[in-house]
Structure 1
Amino acid sequence: MPTTNTPTTKTLREGSARKRAAILMAARELFLAEGFDRSSVDAVAARAEVSKRTVYDYFGDKQSLLKAVVDAIGESLITTIRQTLDDTLTDRTEAADLEDVLVTFSMRIATGMLDSSEYATLQRLVRAEFGHLPHGCYNAMADTPDEALAERFAAFAAAGLLHVPDPRLAADQFIALTFGVALDRLGSANAVEDARVRPIVVEGVRTFLRAYRTR
């Protein structure tokens, strides 16, 4: 049975950013290569070139270290999503632009984030080590991109471009209709390698707009 012990609650040191990053990278590499159970704190410390005590001082215990690895990858992906939102879905005031900008956003996420090594690493760790992660930690993090997209849809509604009584529901449905379909059907959302992705995204955007575009 997977361990279900909760992470430590002791006061942790912030410490050196360089050492913290080295420990996270070492743990990430070992957890992926050897698995959580077979990766010792001693091995993490040796790979990071720090003392075992430093690992404990910075992260408390091995389970908390795994959570920190998952959180760090997730935060990196969320930063990518927010940047993509800023680049593609900001200050759009023409209804005629909506289809193009929503397709552009979806394709950027599909090819730049969902097929990235960071996303693949996150999925592998969460699937393999789910029993060692605190309950709900990944789900809470996974909600953040949806909330960010919901904020943009609410802004479009305020500008009179969309009718979205529930922006979060609209965001969930948009994701399901676009790159979510590509992932479910094709196992990938990389339009560079698979020409079937873009037509799926375009039709998903059009379906979304038929439901939510202001009449």
Structure 2
Amino acid sequence: MPTTKTPTTKTLREGSSRKRAAILAAARELFLADGFDRSSVDAIAARAEVSKRTVYDYFGDKQTLLQAVVDDVGQSLIATIGRILDDTLTDPAESADLEDVLVTFSTRIATDMLGSAEHATLRRLVRAQTGHPPDQSENPMADTPDEALAERFAAFAAAGRLDVPDPRLAADQFIALTFGVALNRYGSANAAEDPRVQPLIVEGVRTFLRAYQAT
């Protein structure tokens, strides 16, 4: 059973960004390969080519280091979501077909983010951290992706393309109707690998637009 020890609260060194990155990378590799409990700070330090004292100075203890690794992977996924938003939901005036735009966005999220090795890594790390598969309350990305999508929906509403009195609610409902359905039904949303996913996304987008497309 994974440890549930509370992470350290002591003051930690900021230190060298190169060393910090090396420790995070080493910890991530060992936590995934050997498991959290079997990964020693000595082994992490050796792989990162730093001293054991440096690991403790930068992260305090192994539990805090695991949280830092989870946060690091979560931030990488948030950056991926940002790139997908910038590639697909940009200028509302240039988005001629909302259905096509939203299907493209959803498919990219399902494949490039939810179907990525990074996302699989995040789930494994959170399981190591909590002892069970992650649920929404333990999502290290919290509400960041939902809020980012809500901002784009607000922009489309301001341009007269959508009618969304509550952009955040619209974002939550959009996610639930599209790749959220695939995750709940199949446990995966990778449209590139599972042909069942794309029809769910298309129908979800159409349902969303029936409720929110401006007339």
Is the structural similarity TM-score above 0.5?
yes
Distance verdict in 2 for CA 1:197–1:131, change over 3 Å: closer
1:110 alignment partner AA = A
Matching residue's letter, 1:12: L
Matches within 5 A, 1:36-185: 36-93=36-93, 96-130=96-130, 138-139=138-139, 141-185=141-185
State whether residues 178 and 200 of structure 1, in contact with CA within 8 Å, keep that contact through their aligned partners in structure 2.
yes
TM-score for both structures, normalised by structure 1: 0.91
Q: Is the 8 A contact 1:88 1:104 kept in 2?
A: yes
One-letter code of the match for 1:106?
S
> Is the partner of 1:210 in helix, strand or coil?
helix
1:37-76: CA deviations, max 9, x gaps? 2211111111111100000111111111000000000000
Distance 2:72 2:138 in 1: 11
After alignment, is 193-202 or 4-13 more displaced?
A: 4-13
Matched residues in 1 for 2:36 and 2:109: separation?
A: 30
CA–CA separation in structure 2 for the residues paired with 1:5 and 1:77: 26
Supply the AA of the counterpart residue of 2:204. G
Q: d(CA) in 2 for partners of 1:95 and 1:47?
A: 48
Identify unmatched segments of 5+ residues in structure 1: none
Task: Tell me how far 1:162 sits from its aligned partner.
Answer: 1.2
CA distance, structure 2, for counterparts of residue 47 and residue 137 of structure 1 = 33
Structure 1 CA distance for aligned equivalents of residues 150 and 123 of structure 2: 23
Distance 1:42 1:111, change over 3 A: same
- How far residue 187 of structure 1 moved from its aligned partner, in angstroms, is 2.5
5+ long unaligned stretches in structure 2: none
User: How many residues matched?
Assistant: 212
Paired residue for 1:209? 209
- The C-alpha deviation readout for 1:124-178, integer Å capped at 9, x for no partner, is 111232159xxx9843623111110011111111111111121111111111111
Supply the AA of the counterpart residue of 2:100.
Answer: D
Residue 201 of structure 1 aligns with an amino acid whose one-letter code is I
Q: Residue 2 of structure 2 contacts residue 128 of structure 2 at CA under 8 Å; is this kept in 1? A: no
Distance change (3 Å), C-alpha of 1:150 and 1:23: same
Q: Any idea what SS the aligned residue of 2:64 has?
A: helix
CA contact 1:95–1:161 (8 Å) conserved in 2 = no
**Farther off after superposition, 142-151 or 181-190:** 181-190
Instruction: Tell me which moved more, 19-28 or 192-201.
Output: 192-201
Q: Tell me if structure 1 keeps the 8 A contact 2:4–2:129.
A: no
Contact 2:95 2:101 in 1 (8 A): no
